[in-house]
Amino acid sequence: MVICSLPKLCEYVQKNYFSWVNEGHYPFSTCHVENLAAGLIAAAEKGINRKIYFIKDREEVTLREFLSKLLATQGLKAPKKNVSAKLVTAICTVMEFPWKVLPLRSQPPTHLRETIVMMRQAFTIRSNKAEKELRFVPPVSMENGLKKMNKLA
């Protein structure tokens, strides 16, 4: 899952648009691109045809922990602002209302609701099957992956 691009996240934080939804203290699975690549190679070499393997970083983090660390790679401090999921869902409903009652040709801004849904609940996967059947071990720790991040601009 991608919440939004890093440049967009940084922009929202810098403009003070970003708020945590329900504090952001719930489990969140991440996967560094090098771990994904290693998982794909392991699946190609050792995987069983038509089986599905989930690949993730080894560390267990919350959304708030991860995004705070990610923002720190860009020299930004995570905001403390928080908004309730109920309030933000109500705002989305109001914003989408004109598309329900008017003959508008454009698409409603459903991406807002989708982003908020993803930011207000736990998002985790288990990589047990990949670890067992493929003997997959993520080669890059989250800490080392974050150290590889370059500051934007």
Residues 14-53 have pLDDT tens digits of 999 899 988 999 999 999 999 999 999 999 999 999 999 9
C-alpha span between 35 and 29 (Å, rounded): 13
Amino acid occupying residue 70: L
Q: How far is CA 22 from CA 63, 91, 92, 111, 119, in A?
A: 11, 15, 16, 19, 9
- Compute the half-sphere exposure of residue 105: CA atoms within 13 Å on the CB side of its CA: 0
The per-residue pLDDT for range 96-149, each reduced to its tens digit, is 888 889 998 888 776 667 777 777 778 899 999 999 999 999 999 999 999 988
C-alpha span between 33 and 41 (Å, rounded): 12
CATH topology of domain 6-147: Rossmann fold (3.40.50)
What confidence tier does 153 reach under pLDDT thresholds 50, 70, 90? very low
Nearest of 80, 74, 58, 82 to residue 130 by alpha carbon: 58
Tokens of 4: 């939004």
Nearest of 21, 15, 33 to residue 115 by alpha carbon: 21
Tokens of 45: 């070499």
Does residue 26 contact residue 121 with C-beta atoms inside 8 Å? yes
